[in-house]
């Protein structure tokens, strides 16, 4: 099993004491499979994604990626995890504004030491970005920016792709096109995809669906 | 509505206390340095005015001896008998603990009104009553040092610092100068038909009133220098204020839009924002004035020593709280804030109600302003170049400095950007490429702080080059001019003759210092007669000369002139100078004469004695192989007091001491300016830190640790400081050249050779780097410790 999550808990500090966000979540995901995580706002979807991606630390429970315990990694270990094994696609794209498209796509792969010029060019062509490589993020549309974010993630060849509402900022037509490209490319690389989404239509495209409600999987 | 609006506006500062602190601190620092300098200037000018009132300087014409320091009292009697309305003054130094006190003796019955410390109604009685009873008046600072003198000492703030005033008879007794006077003051409205001066007292010359005290004119350039420094520091502080106000206004665009949407008229809103800033300016101005007082109080003793050493001006070492400077401090705080906020207020006033509430990216805002900035920089640098080529006068020199510094500051980001772009192109690794690209993006936000750093480093390089060049030249100059082992002063011509006769067989050479005050090339100047010998030939160096200089001077065939006279009169080697009626001599050499405000020409001793047979030397330079033995012999034979025999080492040490203190003030201002620049970097980094998260969070999410991001932030500040320092070096050297070749020549009449001091520049660069590093340390540490939850907020979908 690529990803195993057991009894995961997480709280945030609130004005009246800790506010529990995750109350013991268990899930698993095999390599090459896709999983949709749905739930209402504040149900803990993004928090779960952040914990799995090594962006945050859990209060309790375990996260294993390829058998390696993630929740006990220190700052440096989690950074290495984010560079190599995991790729995160954000709703807000989170491109680096000071780098052009080509540098943005290559960035994570270069950090991980896995940059491959040919693969980057192929991804750019596949995502319709070949003519945009010298542009900066602020010169691109939302759809183009999200394609750059997808290309950046996939160029690093992560084993697990985490997508947090990847089409939430896009119109319907662009959203559909981007999703198709994402699914095709993930399938091609053999990575697993865990996608957080509000959209039932988007969730329906995944092999499995889980619903998170008030910090628990329903 | 006004209260609600103010509450909304003020809530921004409550939520951003660091920004408010930055604004207050930047403005307070700017005001402090400006008002500190103004306090020093005000104190010094008040002291000059007091001195002028006491001594009658500048107010009345005077008669002074053509040669020597004093004249017999008989000249006064002869002139009064001939109908001249003159009043005698005697000046001398009293050797007291804590330094000499200048004692001025006045003759109360003949002194013109308004002279002296006691004015009618200012304590009852007139000057005659006040001075008649064996009383000495002194500034409160000085009065304590006169305890035990004998006569009663009365403290009076109307007397100039370091000075005491007494009846002339009492002064003659205290100074042991019975029957001697220094000068005669001419009352306005002299009777018609009195005999000419040349008939009654041919050994006296009339010196016209100049409207202002001589010392006030002489020190103008020094005070202008201080003011320029104060203005530079103020400009650096205003950079901070401008940056902070710009950022705060950008961040409040959303609030402004909402307030207007809710019905607040634009005019009212702009007025409220202006009033809010005025309040901040008044609070910061008050803090700045308090700080400025402390700065001035700390620097004033050194300034006083400088002014005394350079110009003989006595300035009180304690600071009075004068309304003129603290009001000007508040005014400049308000004016500076208005200047810094004008652009931001103008943008708010022109902003359409439906404009985007999102703060504009620094880079976008800067991109639009870049063309204007480039045009401004080129324009200012062109004006500076034109002034260097064709300008004239001291004010033009300072305008040149202003244009040069401001133009270079504006050009800085435009020069840094391509350098950073080149570094990015050359980067091989992902982090390095991101680092350079991100640094480029930070440039607009940091450029004001970097401009401040550029100005501070350039000012340091410029001033330290000037001072070190001056020191090097001055040391050589002292070796040249103080070649004799001993300098001996005689009381009068009779004693001088006896001294010369005594010294001749005992010394290697006796060099009489013959001089008269005269006019050369239409200007007041000093003409000296030199006994030419190996001392002069071996030690004197010329800025320009036509050999054999000394042989021609000795033969009475040529004259040498100091640089001041040469530049002011447009003379150079080979030109003719009229040294007396019907006597013109070619200029054989021009010599450097650093620190001397007046023109000087030197002819051979024989020619001098022929032209001025009545003049006797009362001072001698003495060359001796055993100066200590000779000093003992002089004391034993003539009973000369210590002050009248000065040895070379003591004279050099005293000169160097004065020299070092002269530049203590500029050194202190240099350090303060650098500190303000470091503060500017700190505040810029802190205010940018909150805006940086969206730019840094993706890099963190993609695998850079927070600690590494923090280290990179520190490295970024250091890299920018290094680049800025590297660009500041040539700017500082140009600044030094302007100071030495233009400002100095205009202010003092002489030009110094420029020397380079690479080790000093390296040390300064290290200091600048240290300052930038310290300033960046806190923001970098904060970034390294940013909780992941703050970084995660960047990725939150429902922001």
> d(Cα B44, Cα B267) in Å, to the nearest integer?
45
Compare all CA atoms of chain B with the CA of A55 and give the residue at the minimum distance: B701
B706/A94 Cβ within 8 A = no
Angle between the B648-662 and B430-481 helix axes, to the nearest 10 degrees?
150
For the purposes of burial, counting CB atoms within 10 Å of the CB of B233, is it exposed (0-12), middle (13-18) or buried (19 or more)? Answer: buried
> d(Cα B299, Cα A70) in Å, to the nearest integer?
62
List the single residue in B430, B440, B798 with the smallest CB-CB distance to A110: B430
Question: Average pLDDT in the A162-177 region?
Answer: 82
* pLDDT value, residue B225: 64
The CB-side HSE value for B593 (13 A sphere, CA atoms) comes to 21
| Chain A CB within 8 Å of residue B794 CB | yes
Q: How far off is chain B from A87, nearest CA to CA, in Å?
A: 8
Residues 6+ apart with CB under 8 A from B326: B35, B289
Residue B794 lies in a domain: no
> d(Cα A101, Cα A105) in Å, to the nearest integer?
6
> d(Cα B285, Cα B13) in Å, to the nearest integer?
18
Compare all CA atoms of chain A with the CA of B792 and give the residue at the minimum distance: A55
How many other CB atoms are found less than 10 A from the CB of residue B342?
13
Question: Average pLDDT in the B160-188 region?
Answer: 83
Q: Decide which of B176, B207, B238 is a domain's last residue.
A: B207
The radius of gyration computed from the CA coordinates of chain B, to the nearest angstrom, equals 33
Residue B799 lies in a domain: no
CB A149 within 8 A of CB A137: no
3-state helix vs strand vs coil in chain B, percent to 5? 65, 15, 25
B434/A90 Cβ within 8 A = no
- Per-residue b or e along B15-24, where b marks 16 or more CB atoms closer than 10 Å to that residue's CB: ebeebbebbb
Strands A3-14 and A60-65 come out as: antiparallel
What is the full DSSP assignment across B68-128? SS-EETHHHHHHHHTT--EEEEEEEEEEETTEEEEEEEE-TTTSPTT-SS--TTSSSS-HH
Model confidence at B68, in pLDDT bands (50, 70, 90)? Answer: low
Q: Do B490 and B624 share a domain, yes or no?
A: yes
Contacts of B437 in chain A (CB under 8 A): 96, 98-99, 103
Q: Do B222 and B266 share a domain, yes or no?
A: yes
Among residues A146, A166, A147, the alpha carbon closest in space to that of A49 is found at A166
Chain A and chain B share a number of CB contacts under 8 A equal to: 92
- Per-residue b or e along B506-538, where b marks 16 or more CB atoms closer than 10 Å to that residue's CB: ebebbbbbbbbebebbeeebbbbbbbbbebbee
* pLDDT value, residue B21: 86
pLDDT in tens, B651-660: 777 767 666 6
Does the bond joining B548 to the residue before it have cis omega, within 30 degrees of 0? yes
* pLDDT value, residue A168: 79
pTM: 0.69
What residue has token string 């001033």? B463
Q: Do B638 and B497 share a domain, yes or no?
A: yes
Tokens at residue B222, please? 């020094």
pLDDT in tens, B322-331: 777 778 888 8
% of chain B at pLDDT higher than 70: 83
Mutate to test the interface with B, among A14, A107, A169 (most CBs of B within 10 A): A107
Q: Where are the beta strands (DSSP E) in A53-171?
A: 60-65, 68-69, 86-89, 160-164
Question: Average pLDDT in the B195-207 region?
Answer: 80
Tokens at residue B738, please? 């302007």
* pLDDT value, residue B265: 77
* pLDDT value, residue B210: 54
Contacts of B789 in chain A (CB under 8 A): 12, 56
List the single residue in B433, B789, B796 with the smallest CB-CB distance to A103: B433
- Residue B123 pLDDT > 50, yes or no? no
Q: How far off is chain A from B786, nearest CA to CA, in Å?
A: 12
- Residue B213 pLDDT > 50, yes or no? no
What is the full DSSP assignment across A168-182? TTS-HHHHHHHHHHH
List the single residue in B429, B699, B789 with the smallest CB-CB distance to A96: B699
State chain B's mean pLDDT as an integer.
80
3-state helix vs strand vs coil in chain A, percent to 5? 40, 30, 35
B588 vs B155: which has the higher pLDDT: B588
| Chain A CB within 8 Å of residue B699 CB | yes
pLDDT in tens, B749-779: 777 788 898 988 898 888 888 888 888 888 8
A164/B795 Cβ within 8 A = yes
Question: Average pLDDT in the B738-758 region?
Answer: 82
Q: Do B449 and B515 share a domain, yes or no?
A: no
pLDDT in tens, B80-96: 888 888 888 888 877 77
% of chain B at pLDDT higher than 90: 13
* pLDDT value, residue A27: 93
* pLDDT value, residue A86: 92
Compare all CA atoms of chain B with the CA of A50 and give the residue at the minimum distance: B792
Q: Do B290 and B413 share a domain, yes or no?
A: no
Q: Do B199 and B93 share a domain, yes or no?
A: yes
* pLDDT value, residue B317: 60
The CB-side HSE value for B275 (13 A sphere, CA atoms) comes to 13
Tokens at residue B562, please? 């100091």
* pLDDT value, residue B799: 35
Residue B792 lies in a domain: no
Q: Do B642 and B665 share a domain, yes or no?
A: no
Residue ranges making up the domain that contains B447: 366-481+661-787
pLDDT in tens, B674-714: 777 777 777 777 767 767 788 888 888 888 889 999 999 89
Q: Do B356 and B373 share a domain, yes or no?
A: no
Domain count, chain B: 4
Q: Do B220 and B180 share a domain, yes or no?
A: no
Residue B249 lies in a domain: yes
Model confidence at B558, in pLDDT bands (50, 70, 90)? Answer: very high
Contacts of B428 in chain A (CB under 8 A): none
| Chain A CB within 8 Å of residue B795 CB | yes
Q: How far off is chain B from A96, nearest CA to CA, in Å?
A: 6
What phi and psi, each to the nearest 5 degrees, are found at residue B257? -60, -45
B797/A164 Cβ within 8 A = yes
Q: How far off is chain A from B695, nearest CA to CA, in Å?
A: 6
Q: Decide which of B207, B238, B266 is a domain's last residue.
A: B207
The alpha carbon of residue B87 and the mean position of all alpha carbons in its chain are separated, in whole angstroms, by 36
A165/B789 Cβ within 8 A = no
B18 vs A128: which has the higher pLDDT: A128
- Residue A148 pLDDT > 60, yes or no? yes
Q: What is the 3-state secondary structure (H, E, C) of B445-499?
A: HHHHHHHHHHHHHHHHHHHHHHHHHHHHHHHHHHHHHCCCCEEEECCCHHHHHHH
Q: Decide which of B360, B383, B408 is a domain's last residue.
A: B360
* pLDDT value, residue B518: 83
* pLDDT value, residue B120: 40
Angle between the B758-784 and B706-738 helix axes, to the nearest 10 degrees?
150
pLDDT in tens, A195-214: 998 888 889 989 999 999 98
List the single residue in A46, A76, A106 with the smallest CB-CB distance to B796: A46
Residue B795 lies in a domain: no
Maximum CA pair distance of chain B? 104
Question: Average pLDDT in the A61-76 region?
Answer: 89
- Residue B421 pLDDT > 60, yes or no? yes
Q: How far off is chain A from B798, nearest CA to CA, in Å?
A: 9
How many other CB atoms are found less than 10 A from the CB of residue B1?
12
- Residue A26 pLDDT > 70, yes or no? yes
List the single residue in B430, B431, B701 with the smallest CB-CB distance to A94: B701
A12/B702 Cβ within 8 A = no
> d(Cα B486, Cα B712) in Å, to the nearest integer?
63
Contact map slice: B 396-435 vs A, CB within 8 A = 429-431, 433-434
Q: Do B452 and B586 share a domain, yes or no?
A: no
* pLDDT value, residue B122: 40
Q: Do B503 and B623 share a domain, yes or no?
A: yes
Q: How far off is chain A from B700, nearest CA to CA, in Å?
A: 8
B380 vs B476: which has the higher pLDDT: B380
* pLDDT value, residue A33: 93
Q: Do B630 and B559 share a domain, yes or no?
A: yes
Q: CA quadruple A42, A44, A45, A50: dihedral positive or negative?
A: positive
A165/B794 Cβ within 8 A = no
List the single residue in B440, B706, B798 with the smallest CB-CB distance to A41: B798
Q: Residues of A at the B interface (Cβ-Cβ below 8 Å)?
A: 12, 41, 46, 50, 53, 55-57, 75-76, 79-80, 82-84, 88, 90-92, 94-99, 103, 106-108, 110-112, 115, 138, 152, 164-165, 168
How many other CB atoms are found less than 10 A from the CB of residue A33?
18
Q: How far off is chain A from B444, nearest CA to CA, in Å?
A: 13
Contacts of A88 in chain B (CB under 8 A): 701
> d(Cα A63, Cα A47) in Å, to the nearest integer?
13
What is the full DSSP assignment across B699-764? HHHTT--HHHHHHHHHHHHHHHHHHHHHHHHHHHHHHHHHIIIIIHHHHHS--PPP---HHHHHHH
Contacts 24+ apart (CB under 8 A), B611-616: B611/B579, B611/B580, B611/B583, B612/B66, B612/B67, B612/B514, B612/B516, B612/B529, B614/B67, B614/B202, B614/B203, B615/B66, B615/B67, B615/B68, B615/B514, B615/B515, B615/B516, B616/B67, B616/B68, B616/B493, B616/B496, B616/B497
- Per-residue b or e along B123-158, where b marks 16 or more CB atoms closer than 10 Å to that residue's CB: eeeebeebbeeebbbbbebbbebbeebebebbebeb
Strand partners, A22: A10
> d(Cα B699, Cα B430) in Å, to the nearest integer?
11
- Residue B644 pLDDT > 80, yes or no? no
Residue B439 lies in a domain: yes
Residue B759 lies in a domain: yes
Tokens at residue B763, please? 């040390």
Question: Average pLDDT in the B152-171 region?
Answer: 80
B707/A12 Cβ within 8 A = no
Contacts of A97 in chain B (CB under 8 A): 361, 441, 695
Question: Which of A58-67, B349-358, B638-647, B718-727 has the weakest average pLDDT?
Answer: B349-358
Compare all CA atoms of chain A with the CA of B698 and give the residue at the minimum distance: A94
* pLDDT value, residue B191: 79
* pLDDT value, residue B568: 84
B437/A103 Cβ within 8 A = yes
B795/A92 Cβ within 8 A = yes
* pLDDT value, residue B687: 67
Residue B134 lies in a domain: yes
Compare all CA atoms of chain B with the CA of A75 and give the residue at the minimum distance: B705
> d(Cα B276, Cα B243) in Å, to the nearest integer?
17
A90/B701 Cβ within 8 A = yes
Q: Specify the 3-state DSSP secondary structure of B543.
A: coil
């Amino acid at each position: 099993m690529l990803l195993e999550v057991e009894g995961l808990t997480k709280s945030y500090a609130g004005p009246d004491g800790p506010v529990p966000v995750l109350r013991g979540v268990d899930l698993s995901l095999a390599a090459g499979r896709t999983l949709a995580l749905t739930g209402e706002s504040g149900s803990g979807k993004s928090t779960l994604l952040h914990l799995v991606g090594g962006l945050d630390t859990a209060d309790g429970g375990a996260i294993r990626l390829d058998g390696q315990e993630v929740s006990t990694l220190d700052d440096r270990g989690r950074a290495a995890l984010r560079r190599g094994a995991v790729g995160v696609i954000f709703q807000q794209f989170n491109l680096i504004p000071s780098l052009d498209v080509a540098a943005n796509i290559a960035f994570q792969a270069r950090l991980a030491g896995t940059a491959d010029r040919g693969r980057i060019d192929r991804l750019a062509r596949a995502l319709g970005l070949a003519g945009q490589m010298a542009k900066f993020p602020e010169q691109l549309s939302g759809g183009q920016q999200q394609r750059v974010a997808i290309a950046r993630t996939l160029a690093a060849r992560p084993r697990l792709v985490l997508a947090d509402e990847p089409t939430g900022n896009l119109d319907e037509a662009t959203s559909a096109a981007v999703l198709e490209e994402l699914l095709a490319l993930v399938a091609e690389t053999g990575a697993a995809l865990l996608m957080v989404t509000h959209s039932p239509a988007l969730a329906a495209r995944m092999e499995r669906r889980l619903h998170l409600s008030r910090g628990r999987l329903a | 509505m006004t209260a609600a609006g103010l509450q909304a506006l003020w809530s921004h500062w409550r939520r951003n206390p660091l920004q408010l602190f930055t604004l207050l601190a930047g403005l307070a620092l700017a005001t402090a340095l400006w008002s500190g300098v103004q306090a020093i200037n005000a104190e010094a000018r008040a002291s000059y005015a007091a001195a002028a009132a006491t001594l009658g300087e500048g107010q009345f014409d005077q008669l002074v001896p053509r040669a020597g320091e004093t004249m017999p009292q008989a000249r006064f009697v002869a002139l009064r008998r001939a109908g001249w309305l003159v009043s005698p003054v005697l000046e001398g130094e009293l050797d007291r603990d804590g330094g000499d006190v200048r004692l001025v003796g006045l003759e109360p019955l003949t002194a013109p009104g308004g002279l002296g410390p006691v004015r009618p109604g200012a304590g009852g009685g007139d000057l005659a009553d006040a001075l008649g009873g064996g009383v000495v008046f002194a500034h409160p600072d000085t009065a304590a040092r006169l305890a035990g003198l004998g006569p009663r000492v009365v403290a009076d703030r109307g007397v100039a610092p370091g000075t005491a005033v007494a009846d002339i008879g009492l002064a003659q007794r205290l100074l042991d100068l019975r029957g001697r006077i220094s000068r005669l003051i001419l009352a306005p409205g002299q009777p018609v038909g009195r005999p000419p001066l040349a008939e009654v007292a041919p050994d006296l010359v009339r010196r016209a009133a100049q409207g202002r005290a001589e010392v006030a004119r002489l020190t103008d350039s020094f005070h202008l220098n201080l003011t320029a420094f104060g203005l530079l520091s103020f400009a650096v502080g205003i950079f901070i204020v401008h940056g902070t106000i710009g950022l705060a206004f950008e961040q409040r665009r959303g609030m402004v839009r909402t307030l207007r949407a809710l019905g607040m008229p634009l005019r009212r809103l702009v007025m409220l924002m202006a009033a809010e800033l005025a309040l901040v300016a008044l609070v910061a101005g008050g803090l700045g004035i308090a700080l400025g007082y402390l700065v001035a109080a700390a620097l004033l003793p050194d300034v006083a020593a400088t002014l005394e050493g350079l110009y003989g001006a006595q300035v009180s070492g304690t600071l009075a709280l004068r309304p003129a400077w603290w009001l000007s401090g508040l005014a400049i705080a308000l004016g500076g804030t208005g200047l810094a906020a004008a652009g931001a207020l103008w943008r708010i006033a022109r902003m359409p109600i439906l404009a985007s509430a999102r703060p504009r990216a620094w880079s976008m805002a800067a991109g639009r302003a870049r063309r204007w900035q480039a045009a401004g920089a080129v324009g200012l640098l062109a004006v500076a170049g034109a002034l260097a080529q064709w300008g004239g006068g001291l004010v033009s020199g300072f305008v040149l400095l202003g244009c040069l510094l401001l133009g270079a500051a504006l050009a800085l980001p435009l020069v840094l950007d391509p350098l950073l772009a080149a570094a990015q192109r050359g980067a091989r690794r992902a982090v390095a490429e991101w680092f350079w690209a991100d640094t480029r993006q930070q440039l607009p936000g940091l450029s004001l702080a970097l401009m401040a750093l550029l100005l501070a480093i350039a000012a340091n390089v410029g001033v330290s080059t000037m001072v070190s060049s001056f020191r090097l030249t001055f040391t050589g100059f002292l070796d040249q001019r103080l070649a004799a082992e001993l300098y001996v002063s005689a009381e009068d011509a009779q004693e001088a003759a006896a001294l010369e006769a005594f010294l001749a067989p005992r010394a290697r050479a006796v060099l009489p210092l013959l001089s008269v005050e005269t006019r050369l090339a239409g200007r007041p100047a000093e003409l000296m007669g030199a006994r030419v010998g190996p001392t002069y030939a071996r030690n004197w160096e010329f800025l320009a000369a036509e050999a054999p200089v000394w042989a021609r001077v000795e033969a009475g065939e040529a004259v040498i002139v100091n640089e001041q006279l040469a530049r002011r009169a447009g003379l150079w080697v080979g030109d003719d100078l009229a040294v007396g009626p019907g006597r013109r001599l070619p200029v054989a050499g021009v010599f450097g004469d650093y620190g001397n405000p007046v023109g000087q020409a030197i002819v051979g001793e024989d020619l001098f004695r022929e032209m001025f047979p009545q003049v006797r030397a009362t001072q001698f330079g003495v060359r001796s192989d055993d100066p200590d033995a000779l000093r003992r012999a002089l004391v034993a034979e003539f009973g000369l007091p210590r002050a009248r025999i000065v040895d070379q080492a003591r004279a050099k040490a005293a000169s160097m001491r004065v020299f070092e203190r002269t530049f203590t003030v500029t050194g202190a201002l240099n350090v303060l300016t650098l500190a303000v620049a470091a503060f500017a970097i700190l505040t810029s980094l802190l205010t940018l830190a909150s805006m940086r998260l969206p730019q840094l969070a993706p890099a963190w999410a993609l695998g850079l640790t927070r600690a590494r991001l923090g280290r990179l932030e520190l490295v970024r500040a250091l890299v920018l400081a290094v680049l800025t320092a590297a660009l500041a070096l040539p700017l500082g050297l140009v600044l030094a050249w302007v100071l030495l070749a233009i400002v100095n020549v205009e202010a003092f009449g002489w030009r110094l050779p420029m020397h380079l001091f690479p080790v000093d520049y390296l040390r300064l660069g290290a200091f600048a780097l240290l300052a930038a590093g310290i300033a960046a340390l806190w923001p970098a540490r904060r970034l390294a410790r940013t909780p992941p939850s703050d970084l995660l907020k960047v990725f939150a979908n429902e922001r």
